[in-house]
Structure 1
Amino acid sequence: MSSSYDLIVIGAGWYGLSAAKTYIELHPEEKVLVIEAENSCGGTWSKDRLYPGLKSNNLWGSYEYADMPMSEDVYGVKPGEHIPGAVLHQYLTDFAKKFGVFERTKFNTKVDAIKSTEDGGWEINVSEKTGNSQETLQTKKLIVATGLTSQPNMPSYPGQETFTSKLFHAKDFCTESDTVDKCKKTVVVGGGKSAFDCAYAFASKGDAQVDLIIRPTGQGPVWICPPYVTPWKKMMEELLNTRMLTWFSPCPWGGEDGFSVPRGMLHGTAVGRFLVDNFWSVLSSAVIQDHGYNDHPELFKLKPWQNAFWTGSGIGIHNYPTNFFDLVKEGKIRVHIADIAKLNGSTVHLTNGEVIDADAVICATGWKKESSIKFLNFNSGLAKSATERESLIKQADTEVRDLFPGLKAQPILRSEPKAEEPLRNYRFIIPSESVFKRNIAFAGMVSTTSTSMFATTQALWICAFFDGKLKREPKSADDVTKEIMLHSQFGKWRYPCGYGASLPDFAFDSLPYVDLLLNDLGLKSHRKGTAMLELTEPYKPRDYKGLSQEWSELQSK
């Protein structure tokens, strides 16, 4: 059986829902389908991924769609509160229903393969996850919005076939949530925020004991920031999206905000770099002091290994009901800087010689940072030979170092970075070979704490791109390649302790990226009431309310 559509969106998370909603608004007569592998909306916040105690890192007001405020009377979340996972799942489901996306979504459907067709469209083979039914779909345009948390990165340990206790990835914590009450001795592997979440869920229950394993050759413990940071106690997400503060982070698209002069001074002069270094020192010192890393030998094990400057979106926020670090000081969470040497029976053997009894081992070991989609006859990467790619990389690296001399002093890492080809897309959205075909886009293949702002602006940009109505279009294939290489190589230099070497990673460079997309669209990027507010008032999703309507009115003039 074959069904034809004007647009198919793969994924019903933040980006997929926003992309479908925006396209439906601008193309009400066209046939749109959303394909979702899970049985509900939400992506990371889908029903079967809501583990105990899961909350957003973002506080209320910064994690909502611009066109649908998360009202307190409906969702029960107040200003200054983190949003429970169950509330986010309901909110995203309500959004899908309100804007006609839910009724166009095919759930429990897995994409097996995608093939480009001679007429410039796509053929998509899908199958039901819960049955044997298969189907071939046809579409003129395709948006891949599967995100970066679809495929768990599950390690393999010697002896795990003989391990008699529970062993699972943090992705399955929801379906294995009964372990919180059943297991008294739990091992959690990982140094990221999800590892801390799992450790807290167990350790905060009565007399449970948690052993947190952080491998010595990894990136180390995550930066866990208080919800309010710096001596002025500002919300972290507000700091990241305050225009004047974004100047303190080097960024090749930073000039899109219209303030190239102060940016140039801060990153192009010795005095400016001194100010930048002090800014980041204040941020880092405030977090270290608030958590008391230097005041307790066990807490010291959780002190981040590198300056916060080199870490992108992978920071975490302390959003727990009680103090996580008190559990460490009380010995309910024991931190081990070691690898797992082997599993045997119900014991975990570490490389430092320790042997730990465990009722369960949870691997909070992250995700495979790549699309889970299989393309049969389409190269979504940069179509260049190895020699050409090496030359382009060398040119881009030189340009990055010349633009931002401060990035030459790279941190010394405990492990060699993986030799992998990063995601290389135009505007971090369009594969290089498809820029002039206008038939495919990747939404949300980025890591950022400004998810809702990115989802809204990327969705509109993609629609305008598909329709050939961007005010600022790419001029040539060479220009496209040059930009892709500069931006993707910048990530390697900017965030060596984050995801920068493998995918677009954003922190203080998030707001300038939104500016970049809005400037392409011909829409105003300065959206505050006064010049002073433009510099000092944080941007939030509400600042982009009615963006699609603005765009439609601009096209009718």
Structure 2
Amino acid sequence: MTDPRVGLVGIIGAGAAGLITGHVLLKDGFKVELLTRDKSPGGVWAAKRVYPGLSINNVHGEFRFSALPMPPPAHARETGGRLSGFDMQLYMEKFADTFLNDSIRYGVEVEDISLDTENQGYVVTVTDLRTGELETLRYRRIVLCSGGCSNPHVPSKLSVTTANKAGFLGHVIHSQQFGERIDEILAACEGATGCAVVVGGGKSAQDIAAYLANQGKKVGMVFESTDAILAYPIPLPDFIRRSRVLGIMSPSPYLRSRLERFLHQTWLGSKIVRGFWATLTAFSFRALGIPSNSPLRRAQDLFWSIRTNDEGVGGRERFHALVNNGKIDLIAPARAVSFGSDGRSIILNDGRVLPADAVIMATGYQSSWTKLFNDRTMDDIGLARHPPGGIETQIDVWKCASLTTPPASHDAGEQWASSLFRGIAPVKNLVKRDFAVNGAIFTANNGYVFESCAHWISSYFLGDQMRLPCPENAMAITDKNAAWMRKRHPDMLLWANESYAASISFWNWPQAMDELLDDIGVASVRSGGNWLTWPFKVIDPTELSTLSEERHAKRCKM
């Protein structure tokens, strides 16, 4: 029997998902090569993308991997352990230098991935960004770790091309470019009349607006709605913030415990759950001092949405404090629709004209997969999205009392989903065990999830005995998961692209990872505890440090 580790594994992307996947596969004996267009590792946390004021929603101890400790961030006590973009950049660089120093090719743009029709495996065409030359690479297996924040989405009416045609004299950039062009933006907004306009209401929009305001620049933020927030007057203790408490209070398709079934399937439990999230929302608004008439109250619902920012305890130089002090002008609800004829303004959908010397588009991202595959390859591998199969009308296992009275939703028929089993392996390609995705699960704890997925992928590639259904049953499970996403997070599939939302395990990521660990036959619920304490046991990535050895021991017994 041929050793499954024969041949090179190509990993597309050197962000967090790519790095941990490369490390796990190397530890299991595979040869790997990571490809990235950047000059340094980290993906969204690469050196050219981070900027002062950029922060993440995770606290210290969450977004890291078991093999490498992370030092506490500066001012951890005051911020509740908030991590900055620079904290993440340094950690990703150290992880790459420690474990993957000779396995990453920097400065190569992946142009196309296709099946190798002559040999088993895949053909990857890349451009060397230093020389401009095309190169053809061949891999026995592929792990797609390109993420959902690679290809900026900019409305065509506000693109650089449209701005140039309209004679706009200022700078127009996407938020992804802010770190590289920060000096240009600051220079453009010099003087008493200089003004920047940030388009969008999400986390990156808020971080950029806060940075510009702290630099003394006049800044306005245009949005229709903003993200939900989680904030508190003092840092939450680890037994709440880094445990299963928030996951248990969020309904899951698994409901593995009696406590979860009580909370989400009974009338009394549902009242407790919805009251819990409503109280968190009220406390969050109060902790950040958001007035009742503020446009920031036009936020996503904390219970229903995955557009959530964990602001911690806030701070004088943070976004909400700057808004309260009049340092950031909120223009909402409104939508930017065009550039003004004077070359120094943008026009809103209600006819208002805003002066603008720089426009920063914090308008999200589109799928990274469409640039890497043609339609035929997408279909051959099984990456293409598919419409709902009407499964919602055929099942009743999700009659969760906690999911009654959902917000108004669009037609579910518009909400197509990916065809990835567990958000990892294309169903159509399942039996070949030569293609997987890491980083396509939308979650509140990327470090733990990416590392768990990396082990699932390694077992999958090794041909280990797993809880792996036949393709027909796998598709039924995948359709069921898509139906769950439409029910649990209404309309999220309309804006969250599939390259980072093939599956959604937001607050309930612990339950989803338990399912993955069960798939590969190792112990789940690894944080331990007894019948009373298990919800409050801190979940730490070090729980995963022995997974390779556990999987190896299981393999040797077969």
Please state which band the TM-score falls in when normalised by the shorter chain: 0.7 to 0.9
State the alpha-carbon separation in 1 of the partners of residues 349 and 374 from structure 2.
Answer: 40
- In structure 1, the residue matched to 2:265 is 268
Structure 1 equivalent of residue 295 of structure 2:
301
Once residues 317 and 23 of structure 2 are traced to their aligned partners in structure 1, the CA distance between those partners, rounded to angstroms, is: 38
Aligned partners of 2:139, 2:464: CA distance in 1, in Å? 21
- Residue 83 of structure 2 corresponds to 83
Q: If the length of structure 2 is used for normalisation, what is the TM-score? A: 0.87
Give the superposition deviation at 1:354.
Answer: 2.1
Q: In 1, Cα distance between the equivalents of 2:145 and 2:389?
A: 27
Deviations for 1:470-494, whole angstroms, at most 9, x for unmatched residues? 43222x2221011101112211221
Which of the numbers 435, 444, 450 marks the counterpart of 2:439? Answer: 444
For the pair 1:22 / 2:24, whether they are aligned, the reply is: yes
The alpha carbon displacement at 1:103 in A equals: 1.0
Q: 1:9 to 1:383 in 2, by over 3 A?
A: closer
Letter in 2 for 1:517: L
Kept in 2, the 8 Å contact 1:240–1:508? The answer is no
Q: Which moved more, 1:62-71 or 1:306-315?
A: 306-315
> Are 2:288 and 1:291 aligned?
yes
Task: Choose 75-84 or 50-59, whichever is displaced more.
Answer: 75-84
Distance 1:542 1:339, change over 3 A: same
Match of 1:224 among 229, 233, 257: 229
The residue number in structure 1 matching 2:390 is: 394
Distance 1:221 1:134, change over 3 A: same
In structure 2, stretches of 5+ residues that fail to align are: 1-5
- Of 173-182 and 448-457, more deviation after overlay is shown by 173-182
Matching residue of 1:341: 337
**CA offsets, 1:423-477, max 9 Å, x none?**
2310110011111110100111122221110111100110001112143222x22
Match of 1:330 in 2: 325
Letter of the 1:14 counterpart:
A
Question: 1:174 Cα shift?
Answer: 0.8
Q: Aligned partners of 1:332, 1:384: CA distance in 2, in Å?
A: 45
Change (3 A) 1:325 1:487: same
Post-superposition Cα deviations, 1:217-238, rounded to whole Å, max 9, x if no partner, equal: xxx1112322x47xx8526x86
Q: Does 1:379 align with 2:373?
A: no
Q: 1:252 maps to what in 2? A: 253
The answer to whether the 8 Å contact 1:12/1:43 transfers is: yes
* Candidates 198, 214, 218, aligned match of 2:223: 214
The corresponding residue for 1:131 is 131
Deviation of the 1:241 alpha carbon: 5.0
CA contact (8 A) 1:152 1:171 kept: yes
Judge conservation of contact 1:189–1:362 (CA < 8 Å) in 2: yes
Q: Determine whether 1:192 maps to 2:186.
A: no
**Residues 143, 442 of structure 1: 8 Å contact kept:** yes
CA distance in 2, matches of 1:438, 1:61: 33
Distance 1:177 1:14 in 2: 24
In the alignment, does 2:507 pair up with 1:508?
Answer: yes
- CA distance change for structure 1 residues 404 and 167 in 2, over 3 Å: closer, same or farther? same
Partner amino acid for 1:525? S
Amino acid aligned to 1:16 = G
Tell me how far apart the structure 2 counterparts of residues 70 and 54 of structure 1 sit (CA, whole Å). 18
What pairs up with 1:539-554 in 2 under 5 angstroms?
Answer: 539-554=539-554
Q: Is the 8 A contact 1:120 1:439 kept in 2?
A: no
The Cα of 1:281 is off from its aligned counterpart by: 1.5
Q: Deviations over 1:229-284 (max 9, x none)?
A: 7xx8526x8646533542322211342xxx1x222222222222222221222222
SS of structure 1 residue aligned to 2:485? helix
Q: Distance in 1 between matches of 2:451 and 2:402?
A: 33
Q: Deviations over 1:515-547 (max 9, x none)?
A: 011111211113235314422123122222232
Deviation at residue 58 of structure 1 after TM alignment: 1.6
5+ residue gaps in structure 1? Answer: none
Contact 1:96–1:102 (8 Å) recurs in 2 = yes
Counterpart-to-counterpart distance in 2, 1:317 and 1:294: 17
**Partner of 1:201: helix, strand, or coil?**
helix
Query: Partner residue of 1:527?
Result: 526
Partner of 2:472: 478
Distance 2:280 2:380 in 1: 36
Pair 1:381–1:164, CA change in 2 (3 A): farther
The alpha-carbon deviation at position 152 of structure 1 amounts to: 0.5
In the superposition, relative to structure 1, how do residues 529 and 329 fare at CA in structure 2: closer, same or farther (>3 Å)?
closer
Shift in Å at residue 110 of structure 1? 1.1
Inter-partner Cα distance in structure 2 for 1:435 and 1:77: 47
Name 2:451's counterpart in structure 1.
456
Query: What is the distance in 1 between the residues matched to 2:521 and 2:418?
Result: 27
Deviation at 1:405, TM superposition (A): 4.8
Structure 1's 233 and 304: CA in aligned 2 closer, same or farther, altered over 3 A? farther
Mean Cα deviation higher: 146-155 or 111-120:
111-120
Q: Distance in 2 between matches of 1:385 and 1:123?
A: 19
Deviation readout 1:14-45 (Å, 9 max, x if unpaired): 11011111101111xx4321111111100010
2:504 counterpart SS class: coil
- Find the counterpart in structure 2 of residue 367 from structure 1: 365
The 2-side partners of 1:254 and 1:556 are apart by 33
Task: Report the residue type matching 2:480 in the other structure.
Answer: L
Q: 1:416 to 1:403 in 2, by over 3 A?
A: closer
CA offset at residue 190 of structure 1? 0.2
Rounded to whole Å, the distance in 2 between the matches of 1:262 and 1:381 is: 43
Partner SS state of residue 132, structure 2 = coil
Matched to 2:91, the amino acid is Y
The one-letter amino acid paired with 2:124 is: I
User: What residue identity is the alignment partner of 1:325?
Assistant: H
Moved more, 320-329 or 34-43: 320-329
Describe the SS at the equivalent of 1:37.
coil
Deviation at 1:328, TM superposition (A): 1.8
Report the Cα offset of residue 373 of structure 1.
2.0
Closer, same or farther: CA 525–377 of 1 in aligned 2, 3 Å: same
Aligned length: 528
Does the 8 Å CA contact 2:60/2:82 hold for their aligned counterparts? yes
Is 1:243 the counterpart of 2:239? The answer is no
Indicate conservation of the 8 Å contact 1:313/1:507, yes or no.
no
CA contact (8 A) 1:53 1:84 kept: yes
Distance in 2 (alpha carbons) for counterparts of 1:480 and 1:58? 32
Contact 2:269 2:402 in 1 (8 A): no
Does structure 1 conserve the Cα–Cα contact (< 8 Å) formed by 2:383 and 2:426? no
Measured after TM superposition, the shift of residue 308 of structure 1 is 1.0
Secondary structure of the residue that 2:452 maps to in structure 1? helix
Say if 2:211 is the partner of 1:201.
yes
Tell me, what secondary structure is at the counterpart of 1:471?
A: coil
Q: CA deviation at 1:554?
A: 3.2
- Alpha-carbon separation, structure 1, partners of 2:325 and 2:273: 38
